[in-house]
Structure 1
Amino acid sequence: MVAAEYRLLFKFVLKIFYGTIVVENTHVIPPRGKPCIVCANHSNSLTDALLLVKAIPSKRRNLLRLTAKSTQFGKRTFTSWLIESAGTVPIKRRKDFPNGADNSAVMQHLIEARECALEYGDAVCLFPEGMSRYHPTIAPLKTGVARLVSDVLSRNRDNPNFEVFVQTCSITYMHRQHFRSDVLVTFHEPLRFTPKARPQNPHSDNPELLAPVKYEEIRAITAKMHQQISLGTLDAPSWRMIRNAKLAARVYAPLGTIMSLGDYVRVVRTFLEAFKLAERPHFENQSGSEGEAVNKEIRERAQREDEKIRQLGDDLKDYQDQLARYGIKDDRIRRPLPRHIILYRMAVRLAWSAFLFTLSLPGLFLWLPVFVTTFIAVSRFKRTGPIWDTWDEIAQYKLIYGLVSGLCVWVGATLLTFPVAPVTAMLVPVAMWMTLRWLEDAVSAFRAFAVLTTLLRMGQKHIWELHVVREQLHKRVMDLAVNTLDLPPDSETYFARTGGKEKGRVRGRWASKAKYFSVRRRRKRDWNETLRLYDQVDYPEDEY
C-alpha cells in the first residue's frame, strides 16, 4: 500500500527528473471502492511503478498496491528498503527461478488481504509483460492478470453486485533514461467483469471466466489488454522504425511543443503503424479461385503501396542521418536563415547562455555532488550487462542516487550553517530548483548557438540542397498522411488549436514570453529536448 508520504516522495523525485509528465484520461479510472487491477507496459523498471503512483489522482484512488520482482527484496540497499517500506508485493519471475516460480500465495494475498486487496475494493498494480527491458516493442503479455480476474470472480460468483476492473495504461517516454525528458501517461477505458448479469445490464456478465475456465478465454482477455496498451504508445520491431516515424511526424506537423505531447505521440504512432504494415510479408494466393485475377490485382496494388512507404522510410532515414551528422534539426532546414540573421542570433544566444550560466554558478556547487554521484553510479552499472538488460534501470539508478546525494547536500548545507539552519533548510531546495531552471535555459541557448555555428560552417549552398531534399520528402509525407492515413491536411492549424495547458509553448508573443519564465517548468521548443548540449534523436544500435 503506497502511503501518502511515499506518494509525495515519488512525485517529488519524478518532478525533478522528468521535465513534463502529461497524464491523459484520469476520469476513466474506477473510483475508490471498486476492485481494480492497473496494468501498463513495462520499459523502465521501478520508475514505471513510481510514475503510476504519481499519475493516478488521489481523489480517484488513494491506495495502490505495487508489485515488483522478488530479486529486489531482502538487499541492504536504499532501493530495497524503499520497495519494502512502500508495501510492495514480491513476484517471482520464471527467469529468476528456473525450477519453477510459484506465485499462487502472492495472488491469494492480493485478492483477500484486508490491508489492501481486490475483494475490499482496492487497486493493485501489475505489469503483464512480466519483465522490464529496454526494447522498442512490447513483450507478449503473461496471462497472470486474466487468471487473477478469473480467480476473484470465481470467489464471488454468488454476489451479483460484485465487479472487478482492469485499468490498462500506456506509458511513453520520449527518452526514458535522460534527465529532464518528457513522459506521456494515457489511461484507457477500463475492462469491466462481473460474475453474474445485473438486471439493468443483462449482457455484462462473464460466466466464461468462472472456474473451471478455458485457457482460450484467458488468452482473449490478455490479447485485448495488449491491444489497448499498444494503441497508446510506440510499439515497433526496431528503433529505426521509431526514428523514421518521429521524423515523419515532425515533417508533417513542424510545430514542436505548440503541439501537445499526446497529439505528437499519436501522430508518430500513426506513421509507425504505416511503416510496420509496409514491411509485413505478403503471401501468394494459391487457391485458384474464380476471383484470383481480381485478388492478384489488389495484391499487386498493395505491394506497390507498401514499396512506396518502405522507400519513404529509407529516404527519411538517409535525411535524418545527414541531420544527425551535422547535429542540426529538421526545423533549421525547413526555413533556411540568411547569413546575417544567423550571425545576429548567434550573438544573442551566446550572450543569453553566458548570462544564465553565470547566474547558475552558485547553485551548481550544490548540484555538482549530485551530478558526479549519479554519473559514476550509472557508468559502473552500464558495464554490468548488455543494453537490453541494463538500460531499463538507468532512470531508476539516477532517481535513487540523485535523491540520496541531494538529501546529503541538503543536510550538509544545513549543518554547516547551523546558526541559520532553518533559513538554509528552506533556501537550499529553492536555490537548487531555480538553478535547474536557469541551467535548462542556458543549455538550450548554447545548443541553439552551436547549431547556428554549424549552419554558418555548412554554407548557404549546402543548406539549400538539404532544403530541396526536405521539400520532396514533405510532399511524400503529406501524401501518405492525408491520402492514406486520413490525418488532417492542415496539420499546423489543426494541432495548434488542439491540446491544452500541457503544451510546451503557447501562441502569442506576450503569452510565450510570460510562460518562458515560468518557475514551474521550462517551456520547451521540442518534445525531444533533454538537459544535453545536443539533440537526442538516435537510439542504441546493439542487438536485442
Structure 2
Amino acid sequence: MTVMTKGPMRGSPTPWSYTFIRILFKFVLKIFYGTIVVENAHLIPETGQPCIVCANHSNSLTDALLLVTSIPSKKRNMLRLTAKATQFGHKTFTSWLIESAGTVPIKRRKDSVDGSVDNSDAMLKLMEALETGDAVCLFPEGMSRYHPTIAPLKTGVARLVSDVVSRNRNNPDFQISVLTCSITYMHRQHFRSDVLVTFHEPMKFRARDNPGLLSPVDYDNIKRLTAQLHEKISRGTIDSPSWDLVRTAKLATRIYAPLGTRMSLGDYVRVIRTFLDAFKHFEDLNTENPVNRNGTTNIPEAAQKELRHDLKTYQDQLSQWGIKDDRIRRPLPRHIIVQRIFIRLIWSTSLLTISLPGLLLWLPVFGTTFIAVHNFKKTGPIFDTWDEIAQYKLIYGLLSGICVWIIAVILTWPIAPFSTVLVPAFMWMTLRWFEDAVSAFRAFTALCQLLWVGKPTLKSMHDRRKDLHSRLMNLAVHSLGLPINPESFFVAAGGREKGRVKGPWDSTARYFSLKRRRKRDWNETLRLYDKVDYPNDDSY
C-alpha cells in the first residue's frame, strides 16, 4: 500500500491532558530526582517532522514521563507514547494517566494465554501518526526490566521504519527520523538521586536513499538496523552484564576522578562506561585483553583480573566501615577529625531542628510511599517488580502530597491565598534543609568510623589506595585513552553542575540555592548511608 502525504506536516494538536501531565510531572520529577541532566536537546527533530524516539527501558512508566518532560515543548508539541495493553481499562490514576495522553496500547506475548498477539491496529495508528508529522515513543527492549544490562532489542522499530517508508515510497519529500536516547539513572528508585538523558544524532530515512528497507524487505536489513539502534543506545548508558561490574566501574571512576572533580553527569557516566568496557572483556573467556579507543591492547589479562579483584576487596572494606574513598585518599589528623565531628554533629542537628515543622507535612508522603512500595515488593521477584518502584513512589507521592496540600490550605483557610503558595514553598525548603542535614550526618558517622578504625589500619588502606590509583591511572591513560589529569581536563570541558567551586562566595551562593543543593558526588541519594551496593546477581 502506498500513501501520498500531501502538504506540509504539522503534527497532531496537543491534548489538554498531555499538557497538564507534562507540567505536573516535570514538577514531580524535579522533586523526586535531585538533578535531571538533558544532553543534546538541539538534536531533537521539530514538530511536523516524523520521528520515532526509542530509548532503553529500565524504569517502567518513569522512563516515558522522563522523555515527555525532557523534550522541550518548543521542539515537539507532544510525544505519542506506547504502553503495555494490560495497563489500559482500569479505574486507577495510572490507567487514566496513560489513556488520556493518547497512548497507544501494545500487546505482549507474555500477557497472552496462548503466546500469540496481533498488534497490526497499533502499528497502523503509529504509522498514521508519523505521516501526520508526530513523534512516537517506542522502547525496543519490549518490556521494562530491573537489570544492569540492556535486553536484546525487538525488531519493531526497524519494521515500523520499513513499513512507513514503504507506504510513502512515491513521496520524494517524506523523511522519517529515528532519535535514539540513552537514559541513565544513578539509582533509579531512590529519592533525590540523579538522572542523565542523552539524545543521539538522529538516523534519517527516505525511500530513495534506503531501497533495502522497502517492502518486500530483506529481514537481514531489519536485523542490521536493529543492531545499529542497540549500539547507539548502549554506548550512552551504563550497560553491564552484572551489578558487580557496575559497582567496580563506579569505584574505578571515583579513584580516577576523585570526589570534588568538577565534571558533568554526562562525563561521569562516560568515564564509568569506559572502565566498564575494559572490565567487561574479562567476562568473556574468549577475550584476552581490553581494547582501547585505538584498537590496541596494552594490559595483560592476569593484571586486569587482579585489578578487578583488588578493587572489589577495597570497596567491600569501605562498605563495611561505611566510609567513602575520599576519606582514605586524604587522611586527616585525629584532632582535625574530632573537630569536624563536633562541627558536623552541630550542623546536622541544627538543620534537622529547623526542618522538623516541615517534616510533619512530609511525613504522610513518606509514610504512604513506604507502605505502598513495601506491599508492592511482595508481589513478585526483584527483576519483575523493582523496575516499577520509582513509578509507585512518584504516583503515591504525588497523590499524598496533593492531599497534604489541600488539607493544609483548608486548615489555614483565612489566609488561603497565601498558604496555597507558601505550603509547597515551605515543603521544598524543608526538603533542601533535610538533604543538607542528612549529608552532614553521613559525614559525622564517617568521621566517627575513622576514629574507630584507627590510624595504623587507615595508613594501610591509604597505601593500598595509592597502589590502586597507580594501576588505574596506567589503565586509564595508557590503555583506555582517558586524560592524564582529570581534574583539570573536566573543568576545561565545562563540568559545572557539581564539584569544587570557584571561591567562598560561589560556594555559599550555590549551597543556599533555592533551585537545588550543591552536591559533590553524583552517586549521592537522600540516605543516611552511601548507596554503593546493588542486588546480588544471582537474584536474577
Matches within 5 A, 1:375-390: 375-390=370-385
Aligned to 1:292: none
| Greater mean deviation of Cα atoms: 505-514 or 168-177 | 505-514
Structure 2 residue 329 is matched with structure 1 residue 334: yes
Structure 2 residue 152 is matched with structure 1 residue 137: no
Structure 2 residue 43 is matched with structure 1 residue 28: yes
Q: Which stretches in structure 2 are left out of the alignment for 5+ residues?
A: 1-13, 289-295
Structure 2 residue 34 is matched with structure 1 residue 19: yes
Q: Which amino acid is the alignment partner of residue 221 of structure 2?
A: E
Structure 2 residue 160 is matched with structure 1 residue 109: no
Supply the distance in 2 between the matched residues of 1:302 and 1:26 (Cα, whole angstroms).
35
Aligned to 2:539: 543
Supply the distance in 2 between the matched residues of 1:108 and 1:247 (Cα, whole angstroms).
47
Residue 178 of structure 1 aligns to a residue in which SS?
Answer: coil
Residue 431 of structure 1: which of 426, 431, 444 is its match?
A: 426
Matches within 5 A, 1:381-530: 381-503=376-498, 505-530=500-525
Compute the RMSD of aligned alpha carbons. Answer: 1.5
Matches within 5 A, 1:222-233: 222-233=226-237
Residue 519 of structure 2 aligns to a residue in which SS?
Answer: coil
Supply the distance in 2 between the matched residues of 1:330 and 1:344 (Cα, whole angstroms).
20
Aligned to 2:292: none
Q: Which amino acid is the alignment partner of residue 93 of structure 2?
A: F
Aligned to 1:188: 200
Rate the CA distance shift 1:504–1:110 in 2: closer, same or farther, 3 A. Answer: farther
Residue by residue over 1:111-168, the C-alpha shift from the partner in whole angstroms, topping out at 9 and shown as x without a partner, is 11xxxx1001110000000000110000000000000001110110000110000000
CA contact (8 A) 2:55 2:183 kept: yes
Residue by residue over 1:55-102, the C-alpha shift from the partner in whole angstroms, topping out at 9 and shown as x without a partner, is 111111111101111111111221111111222111111111142111
Q: Which amino acid is the alignment partner of residue 5 of structure 1?
A: F
Supply the distance in 2 between the matched residues of 1:356 and 1:65 (Cα, whole angstroms).
44
- State the percentage of identical aligned residues: 69
Residue by residue over 1:475-513, the C-alpha shift from the partner in whole angstroms, topping out at 9 and shown as x without a partner, is 100000011001111112111322344335533332122
Q: Which amino acid is the alignment partner of residue 492 of structure 1?
A: E
Structure 2 residue 112 is matched with structure 1 residue 97: yes
CA contact (8 A) 1:61 1:123 kept: yes
Residue 341 of structure 2 aligns to a residue in which SS?
Answer: helix
Structure 2 residue 314 is matched with structure 1 residue 319: yes
Q: After TM superposition, give the deviation of residue 272 of structure 1 in Å.
A: 0.2
Rate the CA distance shift 1:448–1:76 in 2: closer, same or farther, 3 A. Answer: same
Supply the distance in 1 between the matched residues of 2:260 and 2:375 (Cα, whole angstroms).
35
Structure 2 residue 357 is matched with structure 1 residue 345: no
Q: Which stretches in structure 1 are left out of the alignment for 5+ residues?
A: 197-204, 285-300
Residue by residue over 1:289-327, the C-alpha shift from the partner in whole angstroms, topping out at 9 and shown as x without a partner, is xxxxxxxxxxxx979712221211111000000000000
Supply the distance in 2 between the matched residues of 1:38 and 1:24 (Cα, whole angstroms).
15
Supply the distance in 1 between the matched residues of 2:298 and 2:501 (Cα, whole angstroms).
42
Aligned to 2:87: 72
Instruction: Compute the TM-score of the two structures, normalised by the length of structure 1.
Output: 0.93
CA contact (8 A) 2:46 2:76 kept: yes
Structure 2 residue 57 is matched with structure 1 residue 42: yes
Aligned to 1:201: none
Deviant stretches of 4+, over 4 Å: 301-304
Structure 2 residue 52 is matched with structure 1 residue 52: no
Residue by residue over 1:442-488, the C-alpha shift from the partner in whole angstroms, topping out at 9 and shown as x without a partner, is 10001100100111111111111100110000010000001100111
Supply the distance in 1 between the matched residues of 2:431 and 2:225 (Cα, whole angstroms).
45
Instruction: Compute the TM-score of the two structures, normalised by the length of structure 2.
Output: 0.93
Supply the distance in 1 between the matched residues of 2:99 and 2:404 (Cα, whole angstroms).
25
Supply the distance in 2 between the matched residues of 1:331 and 1:409 (Cα, whole angstroms).
40
Q: After TM superposition, give the deviation of residue 257 of structure 1 in Å.
A: 5.9
Residue 439 of structure 1 aligns to a residue in which SS?
Answer: helix
Residue 234 of structure 1: which of 231, 234, 238 is its match?
A: 238
Q: Which amino acid is the alignment partner of residue 123 of structure 2?
A: M
Give the aligned length: 516
Aligned to 2:23: 8
Residue by residue over 1:258-290, the C-alpha shift from the partner in whole angstroms, topping out at 9 and shown as x without a partner, is 221111100000000000113322289xxxxxx
Aligned to 2:134: 122
Supply the distance in 2 between the matched residues of 1:304 and 1:364 (Cα, whole angstroms).
53
Rate the CA distance shift 1:261–1:424 in 2: closer, same or farther, 3 A. Answer: same
Q: Which amino acid is the alignment partner of residue 168 of structure 1?
A: T
Aligned to 2:270: 266
Rate the CA distance shift 1:488–1:302 in 2: closer, same or farther, 3 A. Answer: closer
Q: After TM superposition, give the deviation of residue 433 of structure 1 in Å.
A: 0.4
Rate the CA distance shift 1:283–1:171 in 2: closer, same or farther, 3 A. Answer: closer
CA contact (8 A) 1:257 1:524 kept: no
Rate the CA distance shift 1:320–1:190 in 2: closer, same or farther, 3 A. Answer: same
Supply the distance in 2 between the matched residues of 1:500 and 1:28 (Cα, whole angstroms).
21
Supply the distance in 2 between the matched residues of 1:256 and 1:378 (Cα, whole angstroms).
34
CA contact (8 A) 2:259 2:499 kept: no
Q: Which amino acid is the alignment partner of residue 130 of structure 2?
A: L
| Greater mean deviation of Cα atoms: 418-427 or 252-261 | 252-261
Supply the distance in 1 between the matched residues of 2:299 and 2:271 (Cα, whole angstroms).
24
Supply the distance in 2 between the matched residues of 1:40 and 1:257 (Cα, whole angstroms).
29
Rate the CA distance shift 1:489–1:236 in 2: closer, same or farther, 3 A. Answer: same
CA contact (8 A) 1:278 1:307 kept: no
Q: Which amino acid is the alignment partner of residue 459 of structure 1?
A: G
Q: Which amino acid is the alignment partner of residue 181 of structure 1?
A: S
Residue 176 of structure 2: which of 161, 164, 168 is its match?
A: 164
| Greater mean deviation of Cα atoms: 176-185 or 52-61 | 52-61
Q: After TM superposition, give the deviation of residue 421 of structure 1 in Å.
A: 1.6
Supply the distance in 2 between the matched residues of 1:446 and 1:259 (Cα, whole angstroms).
25
Residue 258 of structure 1 aligns to a residue in which SS?
Answer: coil
Supply the distance in 2 between the matched residues of 1:46 and 1:383 (Cα, whole angstroms).
20
